[in-house]
Amino acid sequence: MNQQNQHLFSSFTLPNGVELKNRLVMAPMTNFSSNPDGTVTDAEVNYYARRSGGVSMVLTACTYVSANGKGFHGEFGGDQDSMIPSLKRVAQAIKEQGAKAVLQIFHGGRMCPPELVPNGEIVSASDIPAERGGASTEAPDLKPRALTETEVEEMIHAFGETTRRAIEAGYDGVEIHGANGYLIQQFFSPHSNRREDRFGGSLEKRMAFPLAVVDEVRKVVDQHATVPFIVGYRFSPEEPETPGITMEDTLKLVDVLADRGLDYLHVSLADFFSQPRRGVEDVSKTRMEYLLETIGDRVPLIGVGSIYSAEDARKAFGTGVPLLALGRELIIDPDWVQKVAEGKEEEIVTELDKTKQEELVIPDPLWNAIISTPGWFPGV
C-alpha cells in the first residue's frame, strides 16, 4: 500500500464502540430498482453485494417509513413488518462482504410523486408547494397537505418502527435522512414549514421534529437492540429558496445534534470543497471547515462530494474529516477501495464505461436513469 494512503485504511471506532475497518463508506444512493410492492429485487441485492467488499460501511438507498412517504419509483419499503424479509436480504448481502449495513430511513414529504402515495395525497410540514424537484413544482394544484399534530406524532413513531424492523432484519444501524429536501428537512426549513404550533415558527421550534425523530430512534434502539447499533443523521447545509435554510441555521442544528447521542453526522454535498451561499461572514471558507469547527470532537462527521481519485480522497482527509463517503465513484468502479489498498491507483476508473453495465452489476432502472441524465456521471 502507498504509505500516504495508510490513514484511509486505519480503523475507526464510533461513539457506541462499533469498529469500522477503514475510513471509507458507501454513500446512500437511490437506485430505482425495487419491485412495485416495495420488496427488493435480485438485481438490487447483487448491486449492493458487488460494492460492499472494500468499504467499512454501506449506507443503503432510502427506505420509506410510511406508505405516504414513498419518494421514488423503485424505492424499497420499511413501513410494515411484512417488509422485514426483504430488508434482511440487503443487510445480509452487505454483511457477507465484510461491511456494516446501515439502512437509511426516510419520508419524502412534499417531494413524493402523487401516483406513489395513497389517494395521491402529498403531505408536508405545511401546504407550501416545492419550488424545484417535486410534483408540486410543476403542478401547484398538487400542493401538499399540512400534517396535523397527531399525524406528526404518528410520523415520529413510524421512524421508530422502521428502526425496529431494521434491527430485526439484521442491520448494523440506521441513518436518519434529514437532507435533500425531504420531510425531516421540510420541518427544519422556513420555506416549507410555516406552522404556528410546537413544530414550527422559530428556529428552535423548526428543530422539534428532527430532534424528536432522533430521540425516538435512539429510544427504540435502547429497547430492541441487543448489540451496539449505529444511529446516524444526514443533513443538507443550505437551500437556495428564500426563505430557506442558511449555513447559519445548519450550524445551529448541527451544534445541537452533536450532543444528541448520535454515532455520526453525514453532510450531503455534491462537492466536498463547496463554499457557503449565505448565513456566514466568510464565504471563502468551505462548508466542511465550518462544520468541523462547530462539531469539534463531539461526534464523527462523514464528508462526501465528487471524490473520484485517490488524490481526491487524500485531499479531503487532509481537512481533518474522520470518515469519507464515496457515491457515484463506487458505481463507476466497485473495486475502488481494493485498488487503492493494493497500490493500484493507476487502475482506478473515474468515468463510467457505457459498455460494462453487466460487469459493473448495475440494475437496468438505475442504468437507464444514469444514461438518460447527461452530466450526472462523468463519462455520460
Q: Which residue has the higher pLDDT, 3 or 126?
A: 126
This prediction's pTM? 0.98
Considering its fold, how many domains does the chain have in total?
1
CB atoms within 10 A of CB 369: 20
Res 112: pLDDT? 97
Please indicate, yes or no, if residue 255 is contained in any of the structural domains: yes
Please indicate, yes or no, if residue 89 is contained in any of the structural domains: yes
Straight-line distance from the first to the last Cα atom of the chain, in angstroms, rounded to the nearest whole number: 31
Residues 90 and 174: beta-carbon distance below 8 Å? no
Query: Identity (one letter) of the amino acid at 48?
Result: Y
Res 82: pLDDT? 98
pLDDT bin (cut points 50, 70, 90) of residue 140 is: confident
Nearest alpha carbon to residue 72 among 102, 44, 99: 44
Asked if residue 4 has pLDDT above 90, the reply is no
Distance CA 87, CA 61 (A): 12
Distance CA 375, CA 17 (A): 40
pLDDT bin (cut points 50, 70, 90) of residue 134 is: confident
pLDDT bin (cut points 50, 70, 90) of residue 141 is: confident
Query: 100: helix, coil or strand?
Result: strand
Res 2: pLDDT? 76
pLDDT bin (cut points 50, 70, 90) of residue 65 is: very high
**pLDDT, tens digit (0-9, with 9 covering 90-100), for 211-243:** 999 999 999 999 999 999 999 999 999 999 999
Mean pLDDT across 161-183: 98
Please indicate, yes or no, if residue 233 is contained in any of the structural domains: yes
Residues in contact with 380: Cβ distance below 8 Å, sequence separation at least 6, in sequence order: 352, 354, 370, 371, 373, 374
Helix axis angle for 287-295 and 247-257, nearest 10°, is 30
Nearest alpha carbon to residue 171 among 104, 223, 97: 104
Q: Which residue has the higher pLDDT, 163 or 284?
A: 163
Res 97: pLDDT? 98
Distance CA 71, CA 90 (A): 19
Please indicate, yes or no, if residue 80 is contained in any of the structural domains: yes
Per-position b or e across 27-53, b if 16+ CB within 10 A of its CB: bbbbbbbbeeebbbbebbbebbbbbbe
Res 44: pLDDT? 98
Residue 308 annotated among the catalytic residues of the structure? no
Res 142: pLDDT? 87
What dihedral do alpha carbons 18, 10, 237, 209 form, nearest 10°?
A: 0
Res 340: pLDDT? 96
Q: Which residue has the higher pLDDT, 4 or 98?
A: 98
| 215 alpha carbon, distance to own chain's centre | 18
**pLDDT, tens digit (0-9, with 9 covering 90-100), for 354-368:** 999 999 999 999 999
Using omega within 30 degrees of 0 as the cis cutoff, is the peptide bond preceding 36 cis? Answer: no
Mean pLDDT across 251-256: 98
Res 308: pLDDT? 96
> Where are the alpha helices (H) located in 111-207, listed in sequence order?
135-138, 149-168, 183-188, 203-206
Mean pLDDT across 62-87: 98
Residues 186 and 109: beta-carbon distance below 8 Å? yes
Mean pLDDT across 44-51: 98
Mean pLDDT across 157-164: 98
Q: Which of 47, 64, 182, 308 is catalytic?
A: 182
Percent of the chain scored above 90 by pLDDT? 96
Res 139: pLDDT? 84
Nearest alpha carbon to residue 10 among 19, 21, 25: 21
Please indicate, yes or no, if residue 116 is contained in any of the structural domains: yes
Please indicate, yes or no, if residue 379 is contained in any of the structural domains: no
Mean pLDDT across 321-342: 97
Range of the domain at 342: 3-371
Res 42: pLDDT? 98
pLDDT bin (cut points 50, 70, 90) of residue 331 is: very high
Please indicate, yes or no, if residue 102 is contained in any of the structural domains: yes
Residues 138 and 204: beta-carbon distance below 8 Å? no
| 219 alpha carbon, distance to own chain's centre | 21
Please indicate, yes or no, if residue 378 is contained in any of the structural domains: no
Give me 196's grid cell. 404556528
> Where are the alpha helices (H) located in the chain, listed in sequence order?
42-51, 84-95, 135-138, 149-168, 183-188, 203-206, 208-224, 247-257, 287-295, 310-317, 328-332, 336-341, 357-360, 364-371
Asked if residue 1 has pLDDT above 90, the reply is no
Residue 334, domain CATH = 3.20.20.70
Q: What is the DSSP string of 13-39?
A: E-TTSPEESSSEEEPP-----S-TTSP
